[in-house]
Amino acid sequence: MQPTDMLELERRIREEECEALEQYRAGRQDAPTLYRPAGYLKTIEKDGDMVFVANEESEDRMGDVIEVEGWDLKNFKRNPVLMFSHDYSLAPIGTVPKVWVDGKQLLNTVRFDEADPLGSFIKGKYERKVMRAESVGFRPIQFESRESEAGAMSLFGSFTFQRQELLEISSVSIPAHPKALQKAMHGSGKFTIVMPEIPEVRHYTKGERLAALLNRLIDDMATDERTRSDIIDDMADAAGISASTVNQILNGSINCPPLDRLEGFAEVLDTSLARLRRAAEEDGCEYSDNDDERSLRTAIPRKKLKDLYLLLGDILHDTDTLTSPQPEPDPPVDDDKGADGLSHDDLGLLLEEFRTFKETV
Protein backbone atom coordinates (compact mmCIF):
# COMPACT_ATOMS: atom_id res chain seq x y z
CA MET A 1 0.00 0.00 0.00
CA GLN A 2 1.42 3.36 -1.00
CA PRO A 3 1.67 6.28 1.47
CA THR A 4 -0.90 8.22 -0.61
CA ASP A 5 -3.39 5.41 0.06
CA MET A 6 -3.09 5.98 3.81
CA LEU A 7 -3.65 9.72 3.32
CA GLU A 8 -6.74 9.00 1.25
CA LEU A 9 -8.06 6.68 3.96
CA GLU A 10 -7.55 9.39 6.58
CA ARG A 11 -9.45 11.86 4.40
CA ARG A 12 -12.38 9.46 4.16
CA ILE A 13 -12.35 8.92 7.92
CA ARG A 14 -12.26 12.68 8.40
CA GLU A 15 -15.28 13.10 6.17
CA GLU A 16 -17.14 10.47 8.20
CA GLU A 17 -16.16 12.23 11.44
CA CYS A 18 -17.46 15.60 10.26
CA GLU A 19 -20.71 14.06 9.08
CA ALA A 20 -21.18 12.28 12.42
CA LEU A 21 -20.51 15.51 14.33
CA GLU A 22 -23.10 17.39 12.29
CA GLN A 23 -25.64 14.60 12.86
CA TYR A 24 -24.91 14.72 16.60
CA ARG A 25 -25.23 18.52 16.68
CA ALA A 26 -28.58 18.19 14.92
CA GLY A 27 -29.75 15.65 17.51
CA ARG A 28 -30.07 12.80 15.01
CA GLN A 29 -27.45 10.45 16.56
CA ASP A 30 -25.28 9.94 19.63
CA ALA A 31 -21.89 11.58 19.92
CA PRO A 32 -19.22 9.74 17.91
CA THR A 33 -15.96 8.52 19.38
CA LEU A 34 -13.05 10.51 18.00
CA TYR A 35 -9.35 9.67 18.12
CA ARG A 36 -6.38 12.01 18.16
CA PRO A 37 -2.95 10.31 17.95
CA ALA A 38 -1.01 13.47 18.76
CA GLY A 39 0.39 12.43 22.16
CA TYR A 40 4.05 11.77 22.84
CA LEU A 41 6.43 10.55 25.54
CA LYS A 42 7.72 13.42 27.66
CA THR A 43 9.94 11.79 30.29
CA ILE A 44 10.62 8.55 32.18
CA GLU A 45 10.55 8.86 35.97
CA LYS A 46 13.09 7.19 38.25
CA ASP A 47 10.48 4.72 39.50
CA GLY A 48 9.86 3.54 35.93
CA ASP A 49 6.58 5.35 35.36
CA MET A 50 6.40 7.29 32.10
CA VAL A 51 4.94 10.77 31.63
CA PHE A 52 3.14 11.53 28.36
CA VAL A 53 1.64 14.62 26.79
CA ALA A 54 -1.70 13.09 25.81
CA ASN A 55 -2.94 16.19 23.98
CA GLU A 56 -2.14 19.88 23.57
CA GLU A 57 -4.39 22.88 23.03
CA SER A 58 -3.11 23.67 19.54
CA GLU A 59 -4.34 23.08 16.02
CA ASP A 60 -3.83 19.46 15.01
CA ARG A 61 -3.37 18.06 11.50
CA MET A 62 -7.15 17.83 11.14
CA GLY A 63 -7.45 21.57 11.77
CA ASP A 64 -9.16 21.00 15.13
CA VAL A 65 -8.36 22.45 18.55
CA ILE A 66 -9.21 20.67 21.82
CA GLU A 67 -9.45 23.06 24.77
CA VAL A 68 -7.68 21.49 27.75
CA GLU A 69 -9.99 23.03 30.35
CA GLY A 70 -12.87 21.16 28.73
CA TRP A 71 -11.61 17.65 29.50
CA ASP A 72 -14.00 15.55 31.59
CA LEU A 73 -11.79 12.92 33.28
CA LYS A 74 -14.18 11.61 35.94
CA ASN A 75 -15.32 8.38 34.27
CA PHE A 76 -11.88 7.58 32.88
CA LYS A 77 -10.33 7.77 36.35
CA ARG A 78 -12.72 5.05 37.55
CA ASN A 79 -11.05 2.54 35.20
CA PRO A 80 -7.77 4.10 34.02
CA VAL A 81 -6.47 1.32 31.77
CA LEU A 82 -3.94 1.65 28.97
CA MET A 83 -4.82 -0.02 25.66
CA PHE A 84 -2.66 -0.87 22.67
CA SER A 85 -3.60 0.78 19.37
CA HIS A 86 -7.24 1.21 20.49
CA ASP A 87 -7.66 -2.55 20.05
CA TYR A 88 -10.38 -3.65 22.47
CA SER A 89 -9.91 -7.31 21.53
CA LEU A 90 -6.66 -7.20 23.53
CA ALA A 91 -6.44 -6.98 27.30
CA PRO A 92 -5.05 -3.71 28.71
CA ILE A 93 -1.25 -3.54 28.66
CA GLY A 94 -1.01 -1.23 31.66
CA THR A 95 -2.66 1.48 33.71
CA VAL A 96 -2.78 5.28 33.76
CA PRO A 97 -2.21 6.07 37.46
CA LYS A 98 -2.57 9.82 36.96
CA VAL A 99 -4.07 12.14 34.34
CA TRP A 100 -4.23 15.91 34.77
CA VAL A 101 -4.22 19.30 33.04
CA ASP A 102 -1.08 21.42 33.21
CA GLY A 103 -1.13 24.73 31.35
CA LYS A 104 -2.19 23.98 27.78
CA GLN A 105 -1.43 20.25 28.00
CA LEU A 106 -3.29 17.14 29.08
CA LEU A 107 -0.68 14.98 30.82
CA ASN A 108 -0.76 11.38 32.01
CA THR A 109 1.51 8.81 33.56
CA VAL A 110 1.71 5.23 32.31
CA ARG A 111 2.61 2.12 34.28
CA PHE A 112 3.02 -0.90 32.02
CA ASP A 113 1.99 -4.35 33.23
CA GLU A 114 5.43 -5.98 33.26
CA ALA A 115 3.96 -9.36 34.20
CA ASP A 116 2.15 -9.35 30.85
CA PRO A 117 4.42 -10.29 27.90
CA LEU A 118 2.90 -7.72 25.54
CA GLY A 119 2.96 -5.00 28.21
CA SER A 120 6.62 -5.69 28.95
CA PHE A 121 7.44 -5.79 25.23
CA ILE A 122 5.78 -2.43 24.52
CA LYS A 123 7.38 -0.83 27.59
CA GLY A 124 10.79 -1.80 26.26
CA LYS A 125 10.02 -0.08 22.95
CA TYR A 126 9.34 3.19 24.78
CA GLU A 127 12.37 2.84 27.05
CA ARG A 128 14.60 2.40 24.00
CA LYS A 129 12.84 5.30 22.23
CA VAL A 130 11.68 3.01 19.42
CA MET A 131 8.10 4.09 20.16
CA ARG A 132 7.14 7.58 21.35
CA ALA A 133 3.50 8.14 20.36
CA GLU A 134 0.26 8.04 22.34
CA SER A 135 -3.36 8.47 21.29
CA VAL A 136 -6.59 9.49 23.03
CA GLY A 137 -10.16 8.44 22.34
CA PHE A 138 -12.85 10.90 23.42
CA ARG A 139 -16.54 11.76 23.13
CA PRO A 140 -17.27 15.37 22.11
CA ILE A 141 -19.87 17.14 24.25
CA GLN A 142 -19.70 20.77 23.14
CA PHE A 143 -17.93 22.15 20.06
CA GLU A 144 -18.13 24.83 17.39
CA SER A 145 -16.90 25.23 13.83
CA ARG A 146 -13.72 27.14 13.20
CA GLU A 147 -11.60 28.42 10.31
CA SER A 148 -8.42 26.47 9.69
CA GLU A 149 -5.46 26.37 7.37
CA ALA A 150 -4.76 22.68 7.93
CA GLY A 151 -5.04 21.89 4.22
CA ALA A 152 -6.80 18.87 2.76
CA MET A 153 -7.91 17.48 6.12
CA SER A 154 -9.91 20.63 6.86
CA LEU A 155 -11.87 20.63 3.59
CA PHE A 156 -14.81 18.98 5.36
CA GLY A 157 -14.71 21.41 8.28
CA SER A 158 -12.68 22.08 11.41
CA PHE A 159 -13.82 22.35 15.02
CA THR A 160 -12.94 23.73 18.41
CA PHE A 161 -13.87 21.16 21.06
CA GLN A 162 -14.86 23.03 24.20
CA ARG A 163 -16.04 20.10 26.33
CA GLN A 164 -15.15 16.46 25.80
CA GLU A 165 -15.08 13.22 27.81
CA LEU A 166 -11.87 11.18 27.85
CA LEU A 167 -12.76 7.56 27.07
CA GLU A 168 -9.39 5.86 26.76
CA ILE A 169 -5.66 6.25 26.17
CA SER A 170 -3.63 3.96 23.93
CA SER A 171 0.00 3.30 23.15
CA VAL A 172 0.41 3.52 19.38
CA SER A 173 3.23 2.69 17.00
CA ILE A 174 2.26 5.19 14.29
CA PRO A 175 0.62 8.61 14.87
CA ALA A 176 -2.13 7.90 12.34
CA HIS A 177 -5.88 7.58 12.73
CA PRO A 178 -6.60 4.08 14.13
CA LYS A 179 -9.59 3.52 11.85
CA ALA A 180 -7.44 4.28 8.83
CA LEU A 181 -4.87 1.76 10.02
CA GLN A 182 -7.56 -0.87 10.55
CA LYS A 183 -8.95 -0.34 7.06
CA ALA A 184 -5.45 -0.43 5.60
CA MET A 185 -4.67 -3.74 7.28
CA HIS A 186 -7.89 -5.30 6.00
CA GLY A 187 -7.57 -3.77 2.55
CA SER A 188 -4.98 -4.83 0.01
CA GLY A 189 -3.17 -7.18 2.35
CA LYS A 190 0.13 -5.40 1.70
CA PHE A 191 -0.01 -3.55 5.01
CA THR A 192 0.80 -5.80 7.96
CA ILE A 193 1.91 -5.47 11.56
CA VAL A 194 4.61 -7.87 12.71
CA MET A 195 4.24 -8.86 16.35
CA PRO A 196 6.82 -10.77 18.40
CA GLU A 197 6.30 -14.37 19.35
CA ILE A 198 4.88 -13.94 22.84
CA PRO A 199 5.38 -16.77 25.35
CA GLU A 200 2.59 -18.11 27.48
CA VAL A 201 1.70 -15.90 30.43
CA ARG A 202 3.49 -16.99 33.59
CA HIS A 203 1.71 -17.32 36.90
CA TYR A 204 4.09 -15.84 39.45
CA THR A 205 4.52 -17.40 42.86
CA LYS A 206 5.18 -15.38 45.99
CA GLY A 207 8.52 -13.59 45.78
CA GLU A 208 9.00 -13.97 42.03
CA ARG A 209 7.95 -10.49 40.91
CA LEU A 210 10.42 -8.79 43.23
CA ALA A 211 13.10 -11.33 42.33
CA ALA A 212 12.52 -10.76 38.60
CA LEU A 213 12.76 -6.98 39.01
CA LEU A 214 15.92 -7.14 41.14
CA ASN A 215 17.61 -9.54 38.72
CA ARG A 216 16.75 -7.31 35.75
CA LEU A 217 18.14 -4.22 37.52
CA ILE A 218 21.34 -6.08 38.43
CA ASP A 219 21.82 -7.34 34.87
CA ASP A 220 21.28 -3.83 33.47
CA MET A 221 23.91 -2.42 35.83
CA ALA A 222 26.53 -5.17 35.51
CA THR A 223 29.68 -4.49 33.47
CA ASP A 224 33.04 -6.18 32.98
CA GLU A 225 34.50 -3.90 35.67
CA ARG A 226 31.60 -4.28 38.11
CA THR A 227 30.25 -7.78 37.85
CA ARG A 228 26.93 -9.18 38.99
CA SER A 229 28.71 -10.71 42.00
CA ASP A 230 30.14 -7.30 42.93
CA ILE A 231 26.70 -5.72 42.83
CA ILE A 232 25.23 -8.48 45.01
CA ASP A 233 28.01 -7.93 47.54
CA ASP A 234 27.22 -4.20 47.56
CA MET A 235 23.52 -4.97 48.05
CA ALA A 236 24.38 -7.23 51.00
CA ASP A 237 26.51 -4.52 52.64
CA ALA A 238 23.86 -1.83 52.10
CA ALA A 239 21.10 -4.04 53.52
CA GLY A 240 23.17 -5.38 56.41
CA ILE A 241 22.79 -9.03 55.39
CA SER A 242 24.92 -11.73 53.81
CA ALA A 243 25.41 -12.21 50.07
CA SER A 244 23.86 -15.68 50.37
CA THR A 245 20.69 -14.11 51.77
CA VAL A 246 20.60 -11.68 48.83
CA ASN A 247 20.90 -14.66 46.47
CA GLN A 248 18.00 -16.38 48.23
CA ILE A 249 15.88 -13.26 47.69
CA LEU A 250 16.99 -13.18 44.04
CA ASN A 251 15.92 -16.79 43.45
CA GLY A 252 12.61 -16.27 45.25
CA SER A 253 13.24 -18.68 48.12
CA ILE A 254 13.06 -15.76 50.59
CA ASN A 255 10.18 -13.35 50.05
CA CYS A 256 8.79 -10.22 51.67
CA PRO A 257 12.10 -8.72 52.85
CA PRO A 258 11.63 -5.83 55.28
CA LEU A 259 11.64 -2.26 54.00
CA ASP A 260 15.08 -1.44 55.35
CA ARG A 261 16.57 -4.16 53.18
CA LEU A 262 14.66 -2.98 50.15
CA GLU A 263 15.93 0.53 50.87
CA GLY A 264 19.51 -0.75 50.80
CA PHE A 265 18.87 -2.55 47.51
CA ALA A 266 17.31 0.59 46.02
CA GLU A 267 20.39 2.67 46.91
CA VAL A 268 22.76 0.24 45.20
CA LEU A 269 20.57 -0.34 42.13
CA ASP A 270 19.85 3.38 41.63
CA THR A 271 16.10 2.94 41.76
CA SER A 272 13.35 4.00 44.14
CA LEU A 273 12.18 2.19 47.26
CA ALA A 274 8.61 2.69 46.03
CA ARG A 275 9.33 0.64 42.89
CA LEU A 276 10.77 -2.31 44.83
CA ARG A 277 8.02 -2.11 47.43
CA ARG A 278 5.37 -2.15 44.70
CA ALA A 279 6.86 -5.34 43.23
CA ALA A 280 6.91 -6.99 46.67
CA GLU A 281 3.30 -5.95 47.31
CA GLU A 282 2.32 -7.48 43.96
CA ASP A 283 3.80 -10.70 45.36
CA GLY A 284 1.35 -10.42 48.25
CA CYS A 285 3.67 -8.80 50.81
CA GLU A 286 2.21 -6.24 53.19
CA TYR A 287 4.06 -3.25 54.61
CA SER A 288 3.03 -0.53 57.04
CA ASP A 289 3.80 3.17 56.62
CA ASN A 290 3.47 3.65 60.39
CA ASP A 291 6.95 3.62 61.93
CA ASP A 292 5.46 2.47 65.25
CA GLU A 293 4.20 -0.68 63.57
CA ARG A 294 7.42 -1.41 61.72
CA SER A 295 9.83 -4.09 62.92
CA LEU A 296 12.52 -3.03 65.38
CA ARG A 297 15.04 -4.07 62.73
CA THR A 298 14.04 -1.11 60.55
CA ALA A 299 14.82 1.32 63.36
CA ILE A 300 18.45 0.17 63.66
CA PRO A 301 21.15 1.41 61.25
CA ARG A 302 21.66 -1.28 58.65
CA LYS A 303 25.44 -1.43 59.03
CA LYS A 304 25.08 -2.19 62.75
CA LEU A 305 22.37 -4.75 62.19
CA LYS A 306 24.48 -7.49 60.69
CA ASP A 307 27.16 -7.25 63.40
CA LEU A 308 24.47 -7.21 66.08
CA TYR A 309 22.81 -10.33 64.64
CA LEU A 310 26.16 -12.11 64.47
CA LEU A 311 26.87 -11.13 68.08
CA LEU A 312 23.49 -12.43 69.21
CA GLY A 313 24.14 -15.61 67.28
CA ASP A 314 27.38 -16.14 69.22
CA ILE A 315 25.52 -15.50 72.46
CA LEU A 316 22.82 -18.04 71.59
CA HIS A 317 25.42 -20.59 70.54
CA ASP A 318 27.88 -20.19 73.42
CA THR A 319 25.72 -19.23 76.40
CA ASP A 320 23.36 -21.81 77.84
CA THR A 321 21.88 -19.35 80.31
CA LEU A 322 20.06 -17.46 77.54
CA THR A 323 18.29 -20.58 76.25
CA SER A 324 17.36 -22.11 79.62
CA PRO A 325 14.50 -20.89 81.86
CA GLN A 326 15.54 -17.93 84.00
CA PRO A 327 13.87 -16.14 86.93
CA GLU A 328 12.07 -12.94 86.13
CA PRO A 329 14.59 -10.06 86.10
CA ASP A 330 14.02 -6.74 87.75
CA PRO A 331 12.17 -4.27 85.51
CA PRO A 332 14.73 -2.61 83.24
CA VAL A 333 15.38 1.09 83.43
CA ASP A 334 14.21 2.65 80.17
CA ASP A 335 16.92 5.28 80.09
CA ASP A 336 19.70 2.69 80.52
CA LYS A 337 20.92 2.65 76.94
CA GLY A 338 23.76 0.66 75.47
CA ALA A 339 26.49 1.96 73.17
CA ASP A 340 24.17 1.50 70.21
CA GLY A 341 21.40 3.57 71.82
CA LEU A 342 19.26 0.48 72.61
CA SER A 343 17.59 -0.22 75.95
CA HIS A 344 17.57 -3.66 77.56
CA ASP A 345 13.97 -4.05 76.43
CA ASP A 346 15.03 -3.28 72.87
CA LEU A 347 17.77 -5.89 73.04
CA GLY A 348 15.30 -8.42 74.39
CA LEU A 349 12.95 -7.78 71.50
CA LEU A 350 15.81 -7.97 69.06
CA LEU A 351 16.88 -11.28 70.55
CA GLU A 352 13.38 -12.64 69.98
CA GLU A 353 13.46 -11.38 66.40
CA PHE A 354 16.81 -13.06 65.90
CA ARG A 355 15.40 -16.40 67.07
CA THR A 356 12.54 -15.98 64.58
CA PHE A 357 14.45 -14.61 61.59
CA LYS A 358 17.96 -15.99 62.00
CA GLU A 359 17.44 -18.44 59.10
CA THR A 360 17.16 -15.47 56.71
CA VAL A 361 20.40 -13.79 57.78
Q: In Å, what is the CA distance from 151 to each residue of 11, 18, 197, 292, 309?
A: 11, 15, 41, 65, 74
Q: Looking at the structure, do residues 83 and 140 belong to the same domain, yes or no? A: yes
110-129 pLDDT per residue, tens: 999 998 899 999 999 999 99
pLDDT tens-place string over residues 228-271? 999 999 999 999 999 999 998 988 888 888 888 999 999 999 88
- Whichever domain contains 242, its CATH number is 1.10.260.40
Dihedral over alpha carbons 290, 296, 298, 299 (to 10 degrees): 90
Percent of the chain scoring above 90 in pLDDT = 34
Q: Indicate whether 61 pLDDT > 90.
A: no
Which segments within the chain are labelled E, that is strand?
34-44, 50-56, 65-66, 71-72, 81-84, 94-95, 99-102, 105-112, 133-146, 158-171
Q: Which of 150, 185, 220 is the last residue of a domain?
A: 185
Q: What mean pLDDT is reported for the chain?
A: 76
Q: What is the pLDDT of residue 296?
A: 41
The answer to whether residue 7 sits within a structural domain is yes
Determine contact, residues 114/211, Cβ cutoff 8 Å.
Answer: no
Q: Do residues 105 and 144 share a domain? A: yes
Half-sphere exposure of 92 (CA within 13 A, CB side): 13
Position 115 in a domain: yes
Considering its fold, how many domains does the chain have in total? 3
- Are 115 and 17 part of one and the same domain? yes
Residue 358 lies in a domain: yes
Q: Are residues 106 and 38 in the same domain?
A: yes
Q: Cβ contacts of residue 256 below 8 Å, gap of 6+?
A: 206, 207, 280, 283, 284, 285, 286
Domain coverage including residue 338: 304-361
Alpha-carbon span 211 to 253, nearest angstrom: 9
| Residue at which a domain ends, from 157, 185, 213 | 185
On whether both 95 and 24 belong to a single domain, the answer is yes
Is residue 350 pLDDT above 80, yes or no? no
Residues 242 and 179 in one domain: no
Tell me: do 245 and 166 sit in the same domain.
Answer: no
Whether residues 158 and 270 share a domain: the answer is no
Q: Are residues 57 and 130 in the same domain?
A: yes
The answer to whether residues 161 and 209 belong to one domain is: no
What global pTM score does this model have?
0.50
Instruction: Report the pLDDT value the prediction gives residue 67, as an integer from 0 to 100.
Output: 96
Note the pLDDT tens digit of each residue in 1-43: 444 466 677 777 788 888 889 889 888 889 999 988 888 999 9
Q: How far apart are CA 77 and CA 109, in angstroms?
A: 12
Calpha distance 157→76 (Å, rounded): 28
Residue 225 sits in the same domain as residue 165: no
DSSP 175: S
The CA distance from 128 to 113, in Å, is 17
Task: With respect to residue 159, please indicate whether it lies within any of the assigned structural domains.
Answer: yes
Do residue 220 and residue 357 come from a single domain?
Answer: no
Identify whether 198 is part of a domain.
no
